[in-house]
Chain A
Amino acid sequence: MRPRSNVRAMLSPKRVPREKIAAALRALILITVFAMAWLQPEGRNAAFDMVVMIGAAYVLVTTFIPWSRCDARRTTLVMLAVDVILITALIYTQSGVRSEYYLLYYLPILHASVRLNLRDAAGTCVLAAASYLLVGILERPESAVTTTVISRVLTFTISAGLLAGFFLLLSRERHAFDRLTRHYQDATKAKSEFLSRVSHEFRTPLTAIVGFSQLLYEHEAELDPSRQHEYLTVIREQSQQLARMIEDMLDITRMDDGRMQLHQSAQKLPDLLDSAMMLLDNPSDRERVTVSIQPGTPMIWVDRSEMEQVLSRIIYNALALSEEGDKVTVSAGPPTGGSEEVKISVQAKGLKVGEEDLAVVFGPSAAVITEQPSSGRALGLAVARALVELHGGRIWVEDSRGEGAAISLTVPRYRTKEGQPDIIVGVAAPEGAEAYVEGESDDSGRRSVRTKAGTGQP
């Protein structure tokens, strides 16, 4: 816990609001300037003294405005305009265009660039330049604008623009950093939640393994052989389950990182199903599965080993979620209506759409894994779903009245190039017929896909 909270604290330190810093700095600088102006003997006159006094009072008042409670932009704009007018009055009453107080114009411009946007900063800059020109015009109406005024306005505008741009870049950078930090925090949180859920899932098979093996170890003499065998069966099943869960978790992590590469090639569905069945741990389970593939079913364009995993996981879940002794039927047929996809359905008599695991994975809340795997099985189904989606297919549960529900999925069909006749496979096709064409090497079929399917993140 501790290191994580440290990282979090480091990533989002409590910042003093920028408004407060800006207001305090502005007050400090202006009050210092006014104090210096007051103490300076040169250029003092009654009008100048009055401007300095009004200015000081105004700065003090504006410093204590409760910024959080008013429309920040409008208030700031009004304040900046008053700032510029005040500075102009200061310059005019002191020694006119020759006054060094024109440097004070930088303050409102920087203020605008820190707190507002580039447009407002530019606007403030123009206002300041115009005010300074006005001072020049008012002072010497005959020569209008002197070279001093022009050069000062120019240097002033350029340097103010540069400074404002710099501050704006800085604040934009920080926004980007904040966004990145937030994103990183969300991802870390999702990941740690996922890990904590998964570790909880792991405890279920572990409980049985640890508990029963300990009982066997401690009470071997008291337990009759049939009981011992029973315990061993549970231990064996649960360790297989645990191994599967670890495999699933690794798959999810791989998909999540975008490291999952599909090596798609043309595959014959019956072959795939045979291999998928070999992956079932319990040989007697295979006898419960019937495969029915209609003639005319085309070859499919999939990653062989991943699709074997998908099919075996789905069959395994259909077996686990239906009654012992119920048949599980895997069926597929040719695509209808010119579709580019082949639909495969795994149907089991006792299967219900409302089953907890199915609802979690295929339910309306598509956010899969981080949501709530209700059991180790849900994890496996989530992997199946992510893999099918990686292939560009869909997976869903449908209720076939009275016959129990079916888990259905679609996978892309294989199409030969340049409009050659479709290659079809089906149990009814004659053995060794020419229709069987092996998939080409995967030079064109290799693709790397980044996916978020595994995480349920937006």
Chain B
Amino acid sequence: MIVDDDPSARRLARDSLKLSGEDWDIWEADDGRSALDLIRAVRPDVILLDLTMPEIGGIPVCSEIKSDPVTCRAEIVIVSARTERDFISASIAAGASEYVTKPFQPADLVRRVREVLNKSAATDAPGDALTDPSLTARSQ
């Protein structure tokens, strides 16, 4: 799931993931509120989240995802133009797994997403048959 208010940034992330050769299901949201609704509905494995968005910023969205038992298993990768240390530490504190700064290399973004997916697969490999496979985006 890609959450970013800038359409060209969403497009870039989507195409980067698509062209990586992986068969991921991808959803998009352009603000924090609709992202939260969509995340509850589709339960993605990984969320690429921008920090500076109108209305609800990325960090509150991140905290909310992590505090909701329905969505807390999703891994969050922050993709932001903010490079300040404060933003990075606040994101990690809010539960993000990775922090990618814009501009990024598409291959780098894909690599981070893969790493995060592998990590989450390793930690909860057994017993996640409970989740509905048709609603989850996962790596093959």
In Å, the complex CA distance between A218 and B12 comes to 14
A114 in contact (CB, < 8 A): no
Chain B, 2-45, CB within 8 A of any chain A CB = 6, 8-9, 11-12, 15-16, 19
A212 in contact (CB, < 8 A): yes
CB of B54 within 8 A of CB of A208, answer: no
CB of B19 within 8 A of CB of A208, answer: no
Select from chain B the residue with minimum beta-carbon distance to A215: B106
B82 in contact (CB, < 8 A): yes
A206 in contact (CB, < 8 A): yes
B89 in contact (CB, < 8 A): no
A434 in contact (CB, < 8 A): no
CB of B81 within 8 A of CB of A218, answer: no
Select from chain B the residue with minimum beta-carbon distance to A356: B54
CB of B81 within 8 A of CB of A211, answer: no
- Report B-chain residues with C-beta under 8 Å of the C-beta of A203: 81, 83, 101-103
Q: Which of A219, A222, A238 contacts B8 (CB 8 A)?
A: A238
A207 in contact (CB, < 8 A): yes
Between A and B, 23 residue pairs with Cβ closer than 8 Å are: A200-B81, A200-B82, A203-B83, A203-B101, A203-B103, A204-B9, A207-B9, A207-B12, A207-B81, A207-B102, A207-B103, A209-B103, A211-B104, A211-B105, A212-B12, A214-B106, A214-B107, A215-B12, A215-B16, A218-B19, A222-B19, A234-B8, A238-B8
CB of B81 within 8 A of CB of A204, answer: yes
Q: Contact size class for B? A: 20 to 34
- Report A-chain residues with C-beta under 8 Å of the C-beta of B103: 203, 206-207, 209-211
CB of A215 within 8 A of CB of B9, answer: no
A196 in contact (CB, < 8 A): yes
CB of A204 within 8 A of CB of B102, answer: yes
- Report B-chain residues with C-beta under 8 Å of the C-beta of A215: 12, 15-16, 19, 106
- Report B-chain residues with C-beta under 8 Å of the C-beta of A223: 19
State the interface size on chain A (CB cutoff 8 A).
Answer: 20
- Report B-chain residues with C-beta under 8 Å of the C-beta of A208: 8-9, 12
- Report B-chain residues with C-beta under 8 Å of the C-beta of A210: 103-105
CB of B9 within 8 A of CB of A214, answer: no
Q: How far is the CB of A321 from chain B (nearest CB, A)?
A: 14
Q: Which of B16, B54, B101 contacts A211 (CB 8 A)?
A: B16
Instruction: Digitize A204-240: 1 where CB-to-B-CB distance is under 8 Å, 0 elsewhere.
Output: 1011111110110011001100000000001000100
- Report B-chain residues with C-beta under 8 Å of the C-beta of A211: 12, 16, 103-106
- Report B-chain residues with C-beta under 8 Å of the C-beta of A209: 103
In Å, the complex CA distance between A379 and B16 comes to 30
Chain B, 72-111, CB within 8 A of any chain A CB = 81-84, 101-107
CB of B102 within 8 A of CB of A206, answer: yes
Chain B residues packing against A (C-beta within 8 Å): 6, 8-9, 11-12, 15-16, 19, 54, 81-84, 101-107
In Å, the complex CA distance between A207 and B106 comes to 10
- Report A-chain residues with C-beta under 8 Å of the C-beta of B11: 234
Q: How far is the CB of A405 from chain B (nearest CB, A)?
A: 18
Chain A interface mostly helix, strand, loop or mixed?
helix
Q: How far is the CB of B66 from chain A (nearest CB, A)?
A: 25
Chain A residues packing against B (C-beta within 8 Å): 196, 200, 203-204, 206-212, 214-215, 218-219, 222-223, 234, 238, 356
In Å, the complex CA distance between A209 and B106 comes to 12
Q: How far is the CB of A1 from chain B (nearest CB, A)?
A: 10
Select from chain B the residue with minimum beta-carbon distance to A199: B83
Q: How far is the CB of A380 from chain B (nearest CB, A)?
A: 17
Q: Which of A207, A210, A234, A356 gathers most chain B CB within 10 Å?
A: A207
Q: How far is the CB of B9 from chain A (nearest CB, A)?
A: 6
- Report A-chain residues with C-beta under 8 Å of the C-beta of B9: 204, 207-208
Select from chain B the residue with minimum beta-carbon distance to A237: B8
- Report A-chain residues with C-beta under 8 Å of the C-beta of B107: 214, 218
In Å, the complex CA distance between A195 and B97 comes to 29
- Given A204-B102, A214-B106: A196 and B8 within 8 A (CB)? no
Select from chain B the residue with minimum beta-carbon distance to A238: B8
In Å, the complex CA distance between A208 and B4 comes to 13
- Report A-chain residues with C-beta under 8 Å of the C-beta of B104: 207, 210-211
CB of B106 within 8 A of CB of A218, answer: yes
- Report B-chain residues with C-beta under 8 Å of the C-beta of A204: 6, 9, 81, 102
